[in-house]
Amino acid sequence: MTNSDRNELRRRFVKDNSISRLALCYVNSSREKVVVQNEVFLSLPEEDMFKYLDIAKKSLSGNIGDNLLELSYTGKQEEEENYRFLLGLKESGLKNQELIDILFDKIIDCYVYDGNYLITAIYDTYDVPVKTTDKLKLDESEESFSYIIVSICPVNQTKAGLGYLPLENRMGAREKDWVAGAPEAAFMFPSFSDRSTDIHNVVFYTKDTAQLHEEIIDSVLGCSTKRTATQCREVLKDAVSNVVGPENKEKARNTLLEIHDSLNSILEEYSAEEPETTERPLDRIILTAAIKDVIKDDAEVMKIVNTCEEEFDKDQPSAELFVDKKALKKAEPERREKEFIKEIETLKTKLKDAENGRFDGTSADVRDTYGEDANLADDEAEDVQSISITLPSDRVDTIRYEEIDGSRYILIPIDDGEEPVIKSR
């Protein structure tokens, strides 16, 4: 299931495209069923409809590969009880109360949670419209996609306080109440892949990407599981930390970010060469190349690579899952600042060398600082306008870098009455 598939379904969760049926079960902290309902969705009060539609929408939210995992059934697993039960539950359209009770019991028996929670199950049939080559929808239906979404939401007690009492038109004490929150876990069966029914896969949602509710996958879904992107990156993080040293957290953090950046660059190169390839497994070659760009000690590189291989065994996750693009974006200003400070230090060294007569002005010196574009022929150099600023050598250390309104500047403090020599040539 792609982002496009997921978003197409989420757009259905509005009142005008309301779902067919809703079943629910409110469970207290003693694992007792307090409320059980099963009714036609359109029979609900309008305000209730929007709340349940919001739960369904949030059950398909987050990042695919992290919050949303598409889990697969093997041929053998499709012959087992859990798969056949889900297939029968979906085909019943949630009209068979006996099957619904079995679903609730399965979840209550395995779900690990100390407080109260709400289980909701919706059934919907989506007449998938035909799309033209320019992605415009036509009225006729290409396929009917029937599916169920089962969500588990924590129910917490609100705090007492002052509130507006509309019937009395005054401020007064508000009583405590029990309110259902956003889903902690959910699943959709079957999957919606390439705008079509995929009965060999189920979509599983977890709010906490670091802690997958494997008890639901094992006991209710009965399919193979996989790690979230967060869990994949945690394996790499631990491997890097063990090599760098757990006590050196700052170095480990910077090393990990550099590996993410290196891996991202490698994947971008692959994507440019093979744009049709959407996912690429993180094999030994890619991982080794990414780490070697950052860590030069071969023994340390191999230690990280071997740790990751042992952890994932034969199941190679997608390489894209290991790139923390949010962390890279957050660290980008810091990285640019470090690069610019390094450039400033290089310029300071050049200025000191010039003061001490060690800079001979050859094209090689210019290239070291400014790159190959500065290697101009003599007749071309005459046409280039440049500015030189002359300061006493003891003032070089006062030069600093600063970013103002998003632009970078080189700042040179000037004392009262001081006139620096500025020449244009």
Tens of pLDDT, residue by residue over 299-320, are 999 999 999 888 887 777 888 8
163, β-bridge pairs: 172
- In this predicted structure, the answer to whether residue 389 has a pLDDT above a threshold of 90 is no
User: Is 215 strand, coil or helix?
Assistant: helix
User: In this structure, are 104 and 152 located in the same domain?
Assistant: yes
Is the overall model pTM greater than 0.85, yes or no? no
Q: How many domains does the chain divide into? A: 3
Strand-strand pairing, 191-193 and 196-198: antiparallel
Domain boundary residue among 323, 355, 384? 323
- Interatomic CA distance for residues 117 and 120, integer angstroms: 10
- Quick one: CA torsion of 126, 132, 135, 141, rounded to 10 degrees? -10
Closest CA to 257 of 178, 335, 204: 335
Of 182, 206, 225, at which residue does a domain stop? 225
Clarify whether residues 305 and 212 are in a common domain: no
Cβ atoms of residues 237 and 229 within 8 Å: no
DSSP per-residue letters across 226-265: ---HHHHHHHHHHHHHHHH-TT-HHHHHHHHHHHHHHHHH
> Where is the domain boundary, 323, 349, 378?
323
Q: Rounded to whole angstroms, how far apart are CA atoms 31 and 27?
A: 6
Percentage of the chain surpassing pLDDT 70? Answer: 83
Which residue bears the tokens 């299931």?
1
The owner of tokens 């087992």 is: 80
User: For the segment 180-231, what is each residue's pLDDT rounded down to a tens digit?
Assistant: 999 999 999 999 999 999 999 999 999 999 888 999 999 999 998 888 999 9
Q: What range defines the domain where residue 245 resides?
A: 230-323
Integer Cα distance of 185 and 166 in angstroms? 35
Least confident window among 51-55, 176-180, 209-213, 270-274: 270-274
What is the band of 375 on the pLDDT scale with cuts at 50, 70, 90? very low
C-alpha–C-alpha distance, residues 369 and 222, integer Å? 61
Say whether both 159 and 286 belong to one domain.
no
How confident is the model at residue 373, as a pLDDT?
46
pLDDT at residue number 178: 86
